[in-house]
Structure 1
Amino acid sequence: MRLPILTLTAIATLFVAADASAQTYDPRYPVCMHVYSLGGRGGGGEFFDCSFTSIPQCQATASGRSASCDLNPYYAFDEPPPPPRKRHKKPQH
């Protein structure tokens, strides 16, 4: 009985200790804004906003903020765009 309890405790400890950070880059957009914040009581932090189609667009949004704009390392620049989807018309009765 003691072995299953110790095993479950060890597994639970591993899950708690594992770093659970999510992916911060959106691979659908070529440019990311890296925002730095000093924060108050909760401390500082930083995050990525990967919702920009160009560096100038990102820079306009980052203007006046503690942020920088960079190319998204997870965007597939060399990959050809997907073909447009064909819409099927519903038959009219």
Structure 2
Amino acid sequence: MTRTGAALIAAATIFSFAGAPAHARDFPYCLQGGEWGYPGNCQFDSYQQCMVTASGTKAYCDVNPVFAFGAQRQQSQPEPRRYRR
């Protein structure tokens, strides 16, 4: 296989993966404080995972506000009003 052929196959592979959408997900815990700011690094499934990452730094772990308030917003939506004629 030539260099050009290998390059074309590599490019096609990269572009085929680039077209697939990433699944957005809100993780429940965020690493906050220090260099992370607010809401911080929100990629933790458990509080323990977050605390291990925060260990030895000036950061701390807290609930991801997007996760917490997003779930609350979905549950508390009122039903639409129905009008009689």
TM class by shorter chain equals: 0.3 to 0.5
Query: What TM-score do the two structures reach when normalised by structure 2?
Result: 0.45
* Higher strand fraction (1 or 2): 1
